[in-house]
Chains A and B, each alone.
Chain A
């Protein structure tokens, strides 16, 4: 869960970072774009402002020039001093009069006039821009304005304007310096720019050459004060037009309005997209994590099941040297791990404990409780304490720290292997079935409390005397509580009927019950673990023992002894045993180097069977460890070595070998009673 939360946090942080980065980039991009747009706007404004100013100044100066022409045509004196006075009166810098040839005939500027050794200034021959003024003589222009520029003659800045003089031919020209220009056109320029808006809230400021503000947008009260650069909150540019310093300025925040709208819209869209992507990614990741967790927990359950199964004894028959008591058990696990178990072991030389148990609940906790209960019961039982005491101590131990209130039902019995007497305790478990003489019935007894529920509880011991041939069948409720397709349970009656068919023995019973239950529940998944254990009491075997020397005479004697011991055994089984025994006798006498050897014959019942135990003090020899000869070769290639052991292994079951106290001990068995039923 903590992992999930930290994953979510990481996800949110990554998404936020991506969002902020993308917004910062958009902001930066749009800032650059709006700055570029603002300067484009400023440049365009300058272009039209320049045209307007030039028009405005031109009109004003042409009027002034016409005024000069009118005065001159009316007979104003044309000497230099008079013209200088007229220039002053008209607020222009200079006045000149040219004849049709382009010669300046009169002027307020003496330098333009002819003097000794120097001709008058001639527009036609002066070259440069001056020649353009000749259009007034040649036509069709009647007024002509030159831009404000540096004079080619003396480098002073002037704007020249000329008007045709129809009365005398030629023309009158006036020239204005910056101050005169500004003086003449100031008011019209102020009117021009005062209400000129640039990009909504921007505008134009015009100043004098010395920086005094002539025209200001929106803030007329600033006019007359000194211009200062507007600083960082404006995009602005300065340009001098017709002698006027002109400033076009656009407030940055007004230029940024568009950017803010764009960025805002982008932020909203991006935010929505990122939230959607984050949700999607979160969903995909959490689905993936959930799947991984499922796989993991399935693996853990599988492991728990394996550990559980591995903890149960699984070698059958469990006590090959004990002919009186026979135990078979099986656990068929359901898909989900449960808490079933069975167990059996000697608690003293004469007593064998056997039990079946079922832990409440399922899953890993049940499996762990099962391991604890199993180990606990075994460790207490093997101290040799009476069964009731074993249960009381195990119960007290299981109650300790059992906060989950898990408990376990147990049916356990202890059989005296010589007498068949069984004492048993039932701690809340299903009663077992006793099979006797082809009949089956439940072994009812006063049940005690389950283990692990409450400490200090007493456990009642009951007892039953088993006769040779009797069996006790124990099981867990997974069998009787398995439902079929219509939801009806397999039930105890069906189980009893199944067990009452006395033709089956031991392991065959276990398989038959499971098969019958599965047939009953065809198409339905197994609901719970099904655990079964059957104990058969076979009683004391008839035994014969003999001791022999390694000679052919004794071999013949042993063979005869065996034939006598097997007199009641059916021929087929007897013949097999005689052949197998002969192979082993021959091996001992010929190859073992033994000084003596023994044979024990045990004839057991329920089911009928024979066990031969052969011991010798010869060199260690495990016949089971030898490889079988190749029985597929043709006659020429065949040897006879090893065939004897092969025959023993193929005809006898079980065959076990061990080396003990310097003797080879070979046990061979044949349960002909069981084989005949197959």
Chain B
């Protein structure tokens, strides 16, 4: 798994490559450091699929940003990931852009 971050003032973009599952979830979790950014974008363009281990991290990140008054956006969701987000109802909670 590869995680790249790009900081543009208060906006933080985190780009992830590779699947997110039980094996890679710890790596993904380690990469989710937001600092004092008020707008965080997680780019999933290169994530072919994601299991519930990844969903848990997305939900935690979403709640953290809400608590600090910031915003979390999920960008470029692939079909397989979208399917899982739809089944679990996460599509309605998260900001998909």
B interface bracket (residues with beta carbon within 8 Å of A): 20 to 34
A572→B80 contact, CB < 8 A = yes
A583→B93 contact, CB < 8 A = no
**Closest CB in chain B relative to A583 CB, distance in Å:** 6
A644→B66 contact, CB < 8 A = no
Given known A-B contacts A579-B80, A579-B84, A636-B63, A643 and B23 have beta carbons under 8 A apart:
no
- Which residues of chain A are within 8 angstroms of B62 by Cβ–Cβ distance? 635
Q: B21 an interface residue at 8 Å Cβ cutoff? A: yes
State which residues 280-310 of A face B: CB under 8 Å.
none
Q: A578 an interface residue at 8 Å Cβ cutoff? A: yes
Q: A221 an interface residue at 8 Å Cβ cutoff? A: no
Q: Contact partner of B87 among A552, A589, A636, A650, CB < 8 A? A: A650
- Which residues of chain A are within 8 angstroms of B22 by Cβ–Cβ distance? 552, 555, 559, 582, 585-586, 589
Q: B83 an interface residue at 8 Å Cβ cutoff? A: yes
Q: B35 an interface residue at 8 Å Cβ cutoff? A: no
Interface of B is mostly: helix
Q: A24 an interface residue at 8 Å Cβ cutoff? A: no
State which residues 42-72 of B face A: CB under 8 Å.
48-53, 55-56, 59, 62-63, 66
A-B contact count (CB 8 A): 79
A638 to B19, CA, bound (A): 23
Give the A interface residue count (CB, 8 A).
Answer: 29
Given known A-B contacts A575-B48, A583-B51, A552 and B23 have beta carbons under 8 A apart:
yes
- Which residues of chain B are within 8 angstroms of A464 by Cβ–Cβ distance? none
Q: B9 an interface residue at 8 Å Cβ cutoff? A: no
Q: Contact partner of A640 among B59, B79, B94, CB < 8 A? A: B59
B52→A640 contact, CB < 8 A = yes
A184 to B28, CA, bound (A): 160
- Of the candidates A552, A578, A586, A643, the one having the most CB atoms from chain B within 10 angstroms of its own CB is A643
Additional pairs, 5, CB under 8 Å, beyond known A575-B80, A651-B83: A556-B23, A579-B21, A631-B88, A632-B92, A651-B87
User: 29 interchain pairs (CB within 8 A)?
Assistant: A556-B23, A559-B21, A559-B22, A575-B80, A576-B80, A576-B83, A578-B19, A578-B49, A578-B51, A585-B22, A586-B53, A632-B89, A632-B92, A633-B89, A634-B93, A635-B63, A635-B66, A635-B94, A636-B63, A638-B59, A640-B52, A640-B55, A640-B56, A643-B88, A644-B52, A647-B84, A651-B83, A651-B84, A651-B87
Measured CB to CB, the residues of A under 8 A from B are: 552, 555-556, 559, 571-572, 575-576, 578-579, 582-583, 585-586, 589, 631-636, 638, 640, 643-644, 646-647, 650-651
Shortest Cβ-Cβ A-B pairs, 8 listed: A631-B89, A575-B80, A575-B49, A640-B56, A582-B51, A582-B21, A644-B52, A643-B52
